[in-house]
Amino acid sequence: AQSVTQLGSHVSVSEGALVLLRCNYSSSVPPYLFWYVQYPNQGLQLLLKYTTGATLVKGINGFEAEFKKSETSFHLTKPSAHMSDAAEYFCAVSGLSGNTPLVFGKGTRLSVIA
C-alpha cells in the first residue's frame, strides 16, 4: 500500500521568502512522486514529477522538489514566493503500473503575505 503525509495543512510565507512544503511517502515499491497545484475553483494541475534518474526535479513556475529515498521525502521548494503562488498543493504517489491510481495527500494551503 502507498500513502503520503503532508506536514502542515496551512503554510504562510511573506512575498519573496522561501517556500517549503513537506511531503513524506510510504511505498512498498519504488515510487513515482508528484506535486499538483489547485488554484481556487479549478481542477488540479501537475507542477512536477519524479520518476527515475535525477533526484532534483524542476517544475513549472520556479518550483522544484528533491527525492530523498533515505528520508522517504519529496519536499517542494521555491526560492522566492510570489502572490500568485497562493493555492493548495497536493503531494501524490503512484506505483509502477499505470493501472495503479495516484494516492494523494491531504493538501497544504499556501498563503503569501504582501
Q: Does 105 bind another protein (CB under 8 A)?
A: yes
CB of 36 to another protein, least distance (A): 8
Torsion angle in degrees (nearest 10) through CA of 55, 50, 38, 88: -40
The Cα–Cα gap between 26 and 93 comes to 9
CB of 15 to another protein, least distance (A): 26
Of 10 and 82, nearer to another protein (C-beta) is: 10
Of 14 and 45, nearer to another protein (C-beta) is: 45
CB of 63 to another protein, least distance (A): 15
Please spell the DSSP secondary structure of 74-92, one letter per residue: EEEEESS--GGG-EEEEEE
- Which residue do the cell numbers 518550483 mark? 63
SS3 assignment, position 14? strand
Q: Does 104 bind another protein (CB under 8 A)?
A: yes
By CB under 8 A, the residues from 36 to 55 that bind another protein are 36, 41-46, 49, 51
